């Protein structure tokens, strides 16, 4: 069966520090992968999606970047975090018509 792993579950980082969130998928090959952010009181905003290794599409200009070094690995990064980067980050992958989500990472930038 297919599963999606996302870590860490929670993270507190100072302003200006780097960020790396990792997401891996098991049980499937060449998945479409997505990073979403959910800010307090707001819906889910698509940040990046990837249809293959090294292929990244950015949905909104921001302080973040994404990479896909392996088929089933999707990484969200930042060189210098801002306070506004705080939020709940969700990784997802798509199979057929629906998307499956990881458990999320709660990022607090202080």
Partner 1 sequence: AQSVTQLGSHVSVSEGALVLLRCNYSSSVPPYLFWYVQYPNQGLQLLLKYTTGATLVKGINGFEAEFKKSETSFHLTKPSAHMSDAAEYFCAVRGGGGNKLTFGTGTQLKVEL
Size of the site for partner 1 (CB under 8 A): 27
Binding mask 32-71 for partner 1 (x = CB under 8 A): x-x-x----xxxx-x--x-x-----x-x------------
Q: Which is nearer to partner 1, 18 or 30 (CB)?
A: 30
Residues 95 and 74: their CA atoms lie apart, in Å, by 16
Site residues (vs partner 1, CB under 8 A): 6, 9, 32, 34, 36, 41-44, 46, 49, 51, 57, 59, 88, 90, 92, 94, 97-104, 106
């Amino acid at each position: 069966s297919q599963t999606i792993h996302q870590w860490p579950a929670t993270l507190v980082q100072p302003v200006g520090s780097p960020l790396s969130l990792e997401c891996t998928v098991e049980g499937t090959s060449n998945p479409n992968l997505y990073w979403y952010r959910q800010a307090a009181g707001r819906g889910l905003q698509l940040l990046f999606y990837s249809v293959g290794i090294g292929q990244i599409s950015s949905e909104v200009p921001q302080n973040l970047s994404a990479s896909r070094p392996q088929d089933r690995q999707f990484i969200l990064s930042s060189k210098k975090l801002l306070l506004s980067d705080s939020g709940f980050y969700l990784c997802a992958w798509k199979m057929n018509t629906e998307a499956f989500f990881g458990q999320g990472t709660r990022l607090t930038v202080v």
